[in-house]
Amino acid sequence: MLGSINFKDKNIFSYLIVTISYWSFMLTDGALRMLVLLHFHVLGFNPIQLAYLFLLYEFAGIITNLSAGWLASKFGLNVTLYSGLILQIISLLLLTQVNENWTIFASVIFVMFVQGLSGVSKDLTKMSSKSAVKLLAPEKNNKLFKWVSFLTGSKNTVKGLGFFIGGLLLYLFEFQNSLIIMSLILFLVFIITYIIMPKNLGSLDKKVKFSEVFSKNKNINFLSASRVFLFGARDVWFVVGLPLFFYSILSDGSVDDNKKAFFIIGTFLALWIIIYGIVQALTPKLISNQILKFSAVKVAKDWSLYLFPIPIILFFLLKLYPHNDNFNLIITIIILLAFCFFFAINSSLHSFLILKFTNKKRVSLDVGFYYMSNAAGRLIGTLFSGLSYTYGGIEICLFVSSVMLLINRLGMRKLEEN
């Protein structure tokens, strides 16, 4: 199929196929998160129990990313990409077996296991897609920054749409039927991808050792450490705290109010992720002059400084009128949209720097190690989201977020020009 076009066209075509597969996966991933969170909250799960549902998902991401780069080096990126799509289909179908008559303990254990499987699939797909960009992007005209920013930004826009679709599906079709619909769509995408995806994407090294997963590059290690706290700082309020905070304002627990709250919460989280993705995709245009004038490392350090005060500002604003729900709702939306802009640029710079610091021989290993740190941050953020909201509400979630962003800033200061 690709023999009649030149090498550059092959790379663009391969990049588009990888991107479409990644989009499809992240659409179901965002929808699944919203379905699980809202469905089990209505069933009576408390904030800590809801956090538990996502802990194995994030922990599985740590283990997967640690080994996925090594697996891709031995067996190829095609194998890891296909495996990720298949495991997500299995996860969706397994969740249809949840029975409302089960005890909360049994439900938590089962859903944790299935979410763990979904976490494995997500990070196999992510590592494969991000590594493919390093291999396919032209080396001149700053194409790498543009391609990775587009992939990352568009992925998050699609995932945000998934949050909206998750809330909408729950409203229209209920839990089990929504999962079946998503599994059928993803299965169709898998078949199409398998048929037209170029074979043998990436070079194979059957002799690569697992110990080579751990990087000896100081920049990669400091960037990965910073990534832990950057994403922990987002998820400490995003995963459990914010949806339950909005739910407490928007619903009195009745069926009609629940449906309205589900729709509004899903819509806001979707818009947040969509805007986040759009800003990520536009980051090369927004800060290209800064990078040309200074360097990507210098610019990344500066933008990390701009981000960490934002949650603490919202923390104090919510303390002004603790019983004014309308004020708290509006000010939270405004400040978190500002957070979205600065977080997106920080995240996009991180995603570019990891590919800048690595080389084509180690790309799947270093990207896997880096996204292991990403998963570790989400794991910490998820756990602290449930704990913080339980013991101090959304305000403590925001305070912990600001502390994590300060640690991220300290880690970014350690980066050196490459």
Asked if 127 and 368 touch (Cβ cutoff 8 Å), the reply is yes
What is the dihedral sign for C-alpha 39, 42, 45, 48?
Answer: positive
CA atoms within 13 A on the CB side of 2: 15
Looking at residue 340, its pLDDT comes to 95
Asked if 28 and 186 touch (Cβ cutoff 8 Å), the reply is yes
Choose the CATH number for 7-412 among 3.40.50.1220, 1.20.1250.20, 1.20.58.220, 3.90.1150.10.
1.20.1250.20
Tokens of 374: 């990403």
Which residue is listed with tokens 């953020």?
A: 381
∠ at Cα 117 (112, 120), nearest 5°? 125
d(C-alpha 24, C-alpha 267), whole Å: 19
Looking at residue 23, its pLDDT comes to 85
Which residue is listed with tokens 């802990």?
A: 55
Domain ranges in the chain are 7-412
One-letter-per-residue 3-state SS of the chain: CCCCCCHHHHHHHHHHHHHHHHHHHHHHHHHHHHHHHHHHHHCCCCHHHHHHHHHHHHHHHHHHHHHHHHHHHHHCHHHHHHHHHHHHHHHHHHHCCCCCCCCHHHHHHHHHHHHHHHHHHHHHHHHHHHHHHHHHCCCCCCHHHHHHHHHHHHHHHHHHHHHHHHHHHHHHHHHHHHHHHHHHHHHHHHHHHHHHCCCCCCCCCCCCCHHHHCCCCHHHHHHHHHHHHHHHHHHHHHCCHHHHHHHHHHCCCCHHHHHHHHHHHHHHHHHHHHHHHHHHHHHHHHHHHHHHHCCHHHHHHHHHHHHCHHHHHHHHHHHHCCCCHHHHHHHHHHHHHHHHHHHHHHHHHHHHHHHHHCCCCCHHHHHHHHHHHHHHHHHHHHHHHHHHHHHHHHHHHHHHHHHHHHHHHHHHCCCCCC
What is the dihedral sign for C-alpha 337, 26, 147, 69?
Answer: positive
Looking at residue 285, its pLDDT comes to 87
What is the dihedral sign for C-alpha 72, 133, 12, 278?
Answer: positive
Q: Please list the pLDDT of the chain residue by residue as tens digits (418 residues).
A: 333 334 345 667 777 777 788 888 888 888 888 888 878 877 888 888 888 888 888 888 788 877 776 777 777 778 888 999 999 999 999 999 988 788 888 888 898 899 889 989 988 887 787 777 767 766 665 677 777 778 877 877 888 888 888 878 877 888 889 999 999 989 998 998 888 777 766 555 555 565 666 677 888 899 999 999 999 999 999 988 999 999 899 888 787 787 788 788 878 888 898 898 889 888 888 888 887 788 889 999 999 999 989 999 999 999 988 888 899 999 999 999 999 999 999 999 998 898 888 877 777 778 778 878 888 998 899 889 989 999 999 999 999 999 999 999 999 999 987 6
CA atoms within 13 A on the CB side of 383: 10
Among candidate residues 282, 301, 274, 308, the one with its CA nearest the CA of residue 402: 308
In degrees rounded to 5, what are phi and psi of residue 198?
-60, 140
d(C-alpha 129, C-alpha 152), whole Å: 10
Asked if 107 and 98 touch (Cβ cutoff 8 Å), the reply is yes
Looking at residue 139, its pLDDT comes to 63
